Amino acid sequence: MGNHNSKIAEDFTGLSYRGCRIGGMTLSLPIDAEANKLLATDPLALLIGMVLDQQVPFEKAFSSPYVLAQRLGHQPTAEEIAGFDPEALVAIFAKPPALHRFPRAMAARVQEVCRALVTQYDGDAANLWTGAADGTELLRRVGSLPGFGKQKAQIFTALLGKQYGVQPPGWREAAGAYGEDGSYRSVADITDGDSLARVRAFKKEMKAAAKA
């Protein structure tokens, strides 16, 4: 397990990953340093964070993969989570403080996503984006995951492009408004406190407009 995760960490921060060049940029969210480091070195942790990023503050969603690893005693693989006893996984998610506002539903969702990774991508989260011919294919792959509607898929596509250098031709167009440079619409644009404030201001404006 340790050697496997070390290899992921090495490849994901700028070297060739199974034929796909990953950019030198890594996620830099204003959350716990160790949680941030895990997101920057483990593709599965990043994907799980994105799965959990709904109906909770983004800090909670993207910190939970680290808390999950702590509770398991190691960084999990997609195969491990896919084969986990569902009730036991719920118990881990629900243990105070719960990993999500809806621990049962989100434990099931994370397990569904991991099962999809096992059946479609050899259990390797990075294979989800590795080798995508263009932005359209990347968006299609992400959007095919359980729980990933168009908006969520576009945000994750933008996140991969803006902060991980996963930039197949047409990725910005596929990500829609979230792919625009300097858009400050989602987690894809958050790198520090200032950008966080700008994203939150945008979301506040959108909520106000929706109510109006």
In this structure, is residue 175 part of a structural domain? yes
In this structure, is residue 90 part of a structural domain? yes
Longest dimension (CA), the chain: 54
For residue 43, what is the domain's CATH number?
1.10.340.30
Percent of the chain residues topping a pLDDT of 90: 73
Considering the entire predicted model, what is its pTM? Answer: 0.85
CB 8 within 8 A of CB 42: yes
In this structure, is residue 201 part of a structural domain? no
Question: Looking at residue 27, what is its pLDDT?
Answer: 60
Model confidence pLDDT, tens digit, residues 156-186: 999 999 999 999 999 999 999 999 998 999 9
Model confidence pLDDT, tens digit, residues 61-79: 999 999 999 999 999 999 9
Nearest to 12 by CA among 32, 33, 30, 26: 26
Look-up of token digits 């920057």: 40
In this structure, is residue 206 part of a structural domain? no
Q: What residues make up the domain containing 52?
A: 2-182
Question: Looking at residue 212, what is its pLDDT?
Answer: 81
Question: Looking at residue 125, what is its pLDDT?
Answer: 97
In this structure, is residue 74 part of a structural domain? yes
Model confidence pLDDT, tens digit, residues 65-118: 999 999 999 999 999 999 999 999 999 999 999 999 999 999 999 999 999 999
Indicate the average pLDDT of the chain: 87
In this structure, is residue 91 part of a structural domain? yes
Question: Looking at residue 169, what is its pLDDT?
Answer: 98
Question: Average pLDDT, stretch 191-200?
Answer: 88
Q: Around Cβ 191, how many Cβ atoms within 10 Å? A: 15
Helices 150-164 and 43-52, axial angle in degrees (round to 10):
140
Q: Around Cβ 182, how many Cβ atoms within 10 Å? A: 9
The total number of structural domains that make up the chain: 1
In this structure, is residue 190 part of a structural domain? no
Least confident range from 19-28, 105-114, 165-174, 190-199: namely 19-28
Burial class of 35 by CB neighbour count within 10 A (0 to 12, 13 to 18, 19+): buried
In this structure, is residue 195 part of a structural domain? no
**What are the start-end ranges of the H helices in the chain?**
2-12, 33-41, 43-52, 58-72, 78-82, 86-94, 103-121, 135-143, 150-164, 171-174, 193-211
